[in-house]
Amino acid sequence: MARNIVLSFLLACIFTLEVLHVCQLTFAGIQPHASMRGSVALKSLSIGSAMPDIALPNQNGQTVSISSFKSEEGGPFGLGAKEGKPVVLFFFAGSASPSCTKQAQAFRDRYKEFQSKGAELFGISKDSVEFQKDWKENEALPFNLLSDKDGSVRESLGIPKDLFGLLEGRQTYVIGTDGKVKMIFNDQFGPEKHIDAALAAL
């Protein structure tokens, strides 16, 4: 009984902090990262599905296309062949919120492990390019942050929301060099678990 009360209290605290972050962005004139409206998934990916091309601006305003990391066979004798790289995409609710900061820091602290596996790592949220640039610098993040400001990519992938649609889902994908999904991991309240899951799938 006491354990359930403590767990409920902790979940309420996390939710409150996330909502306060949305309010903070709203008063600052920044588009909030969490919508109060439910969304209908346009497409739900599964393991083995081809990842649709995602092209979003990074914290410097430069467009990054995820399909550019896919391997290519090339022509006769292998001419024009390109060696691809696996890609890790972690979708999070918004920069600077407590749980998302914890997750990004965990990816940062273990970034060399992703490099050793030849993987490219990207964090994606609905924050603006300008907001992500400041946050990346403040947290010394060695990987790119991509801005899905209107949430269209998140919605097209069918990432489910949490807490009755009040929180954007926390979901991580591992994409192979063939452009197909190797892993989908979702856990809102275990942000650091995403790192272990992604590394195990590479």
Q: Which of 45, 54, 66, 100 is catalytic?
A: 100
What is the distance between the alpha carbons of residues 125 and 74, in angstroms, rounded to a whole number?
A: 34
Distance (Å, rounded) from C-alpha 134 to C-alpha 62?
15
Query: Coil, strand, or helix at residue 112?
Result: helix
Q: Is 100 a catalytic residue?
A: yes
* Contact between residue 15 and residue 163 where contact means Cβ atoms under 8 Å apart: yes
C-alpha 94/C-alpha 150 separation (Å) is: 13
DSSP structure class, residue 82: B
Q: Measure CA 69 to chain center.
A: 17
CA–CA distances in Å: residue 2 to residues 8, 11, 13, 15, 65: 10, 14, 17, 20, 49
Residues designated as active site: 100
